[in-house]
Structure 1
Amino acid sequence: MDAKYAFAQQIVKEAGAFLRQHLHDDLLIEEKTDFTDLVTHLDKQVQEELAQQIISRYPDDSIYGEESEQRSSLFQGKVWVIDPIDGTTNFIVQQTDFAVLLAYFEDGVGQFGIIYDVMQDKLYHGGGSFPVYENDHLLPSFVDKPFKAGLIGISAGLFAQENLGFRTIAEKSLGTRSYGSAGISFAHVLTGRLMAHFSNAFPWDYAAAAILGQSLGYSLIRPDGSQLAYEGRELVIFLPTVKIDEVKGVCESCNSL
């Protein structure tokens, strides 16, 4: 596993370097579900390159990628989850706050996760049997504190939906932040810059964070506290494990109104 983990870090950093080199290229941009859901030729190219490197090195492994039409189940065999550019709109418009995400599972159990903040050159890596680092800096476990002492990551759209309970929780905090990239937001939770992050996300958005957070005292759950399906888009909360009951209670109260 050590060799596979080192290989994963290497190819993710290479993908990030490639994106920095081509940051100002003329992009071929397509809409997926609507005009806010964009994909570029570089999303596809980076995923294809990552997948080819993985399968060339580990031919018995499988790929679960955002830009794939067919995806392997995360619960069967050895599966790599890829988001080649998390925060594609940021990549196109702002040229910052986007990430390369990679997670590795064996029979549904996360072995390690990687979030690479490309423009800040910050690699968040570890999980499973590996310690969690920001580059070479070992990250500490969460130390309990009230929501009023931290910030919440949430989009304007989710904040506006009062029936979810997310707004009630956010209003208990010092304020909200929205970065336009689930991976970047999850990384901010891991480092304590955010207390929690609420998102409507796909498995390739949250798989790495789910693995990274476990050993630091964080959980990635649904609003009702249940485990994620790792299939399709889901409302997710990435938060300190000790806060689950508090958040679950707020969400249940709002849903009953």
Structure 2
Amino acid sequence: MESKFQFAKEIIGQAGQFIRKNMTKDLIIEEKTRFDDLVTELDKEVQTLLVDSIHARYPNDCFLAEENNLTADITKGSVWVIDPIDGTVNFVAQGCDFAVMIAYYEEGQGQFGLIYDVMNDVLYSGGGQFDVTANGQKLPPFTDKPLSRSLICVNSSMASQNFMGLANLGCQTLGVRCFGSAGLSICRVLSGRLLAYFSKISPWDYAAGSIMGEKLGYKICDFYGKKPNFETRQEVMFVPKEKLKEIQKYVH
């Protein structure tokens, strides 16, 4: 597993270099489900780069990924979950605040996750048998603090609609933030800058963070506390395990 983990670090770094090298060229931008659900040719090229690299080294492994209809079941065999550019709208509109994400599962068990903040050159990695680190610096497990001394991150439309009481929860905290990248939002939780994260996202958006979070005392679950299905886009929350019951007093 160590060699596979190191290999994942190598290729995610290569993906980041590829993005930085090619992001200034005129990109083809397409709309998927609506005008703010975007994909660029670079998303597709980065995913192909990662899949091809993994397949060359591990030809029997499978993939669950955002582009090109790669839909392996993480409970069966060795499966890599890939988001080539998490935060594509940020990438297109700002040229920052986006990430590359990789998670690796064997028979449904998360072995490690990686989230690479491309423009800030910070790699969050670990989980399973590995320490969770940010550029090699070990991150501490969750330390409890009251809601009244915490910030949370919430999808903007869910907050404005008070979806399942999220605005009510926000009123119990120091405030609500929104960053437009599931991966980077989860990293802010892992590093202790945010207490929790709430959004409607897909498996490749939360897979890597969920593996790292398990190591540090966090969990990914739907708004009823159940494990997401790793198949469809769902409303989920990434929260400290010991704060779940308190959070569910407001989010229900």
TM-score, normalised relative to structure 1:
0.96
Separation of aligned partners in 2, 1:49 and 1:238: 29
Tell me the equivalent position of 1:59.
59
Separation of aligned partners in 2, 1:79 and 1:70: 11
Is residue 246 of structure 1 aligned with residue 238 of structure 2?
Answer: no
- Map 1:213-232 → 2, pairs under 5 A: 213-232=213-232
Conserved in 1, the CA contact under 8 Å of 2:100 and 2:118? yes
Q: What is the aligned-residue identity percentage? A: 47
Separation of aligned partners in 2, 1:68 and 1:5: 24
Secondary structure, in 3 states, of the residue corresponding to 2:116? strand
Conserved in 1, the CA contact under 8 Å of 2:29 and 2:41? yes
- Map 1:1-257 → 2, pairs under 5 A: 1-252=1-252
Secondary structure, in 3 states, of the residue corresponding to 2:102? strand
Structure 1 segments (4+ residues) deviating >6 Å:
none
Q: Could you report, residue by residue, the CA deviation over 1:150-208 in whole angstroms, capped at 9, with x for unpaired residues?
A: 11111220102224121111111111111110001000000011111101000000000
Conserved in 1, the CA contact under 8 Å of 2:155 and 2:200? no
User: Which deviates more from structure 2 when the two are superposed, residues 58-67 or residues 239-248?
Assistant: 239-248
- Report the AA paired with residue 156 of structure 1: S
Conserved in 2, the CA contact under 8 Å of 1:223 and 1:247? no
Secondary structure, in 3 states, of the residue corresponding to 2:250? helix
Q: Could you report, residue by residue, the CA deviation over 1:209-250 in whole angstroms, capped at 9, with x for unpaired residues?
A: 100001111111111111111111011111111111112232
Separation of aligned partners in 2, 1:172 and 1:97: 27
Separation of aligned partners in 1, 2:163 and 2:220: 20
- Report the AA paired with residue 157 of structure 1: S
Structure 1 gaps, min length 5: 253-257
Separation of aligned partners in 2, 1:70 and 1:182: 20
Secondary structure, in 3 states, of the residue corresponding to 2:59? coil
Secondary structure, in 3 states, of the residue corresponding to 1:251? coil
Separation of aligned partners in 1, 2:64 and 2:163: 32
Structure 2 gaps, min length 5: none
Tell me the equivalent position of 1:255.
none
TM-score, normalised relative to structure 2:
0.98
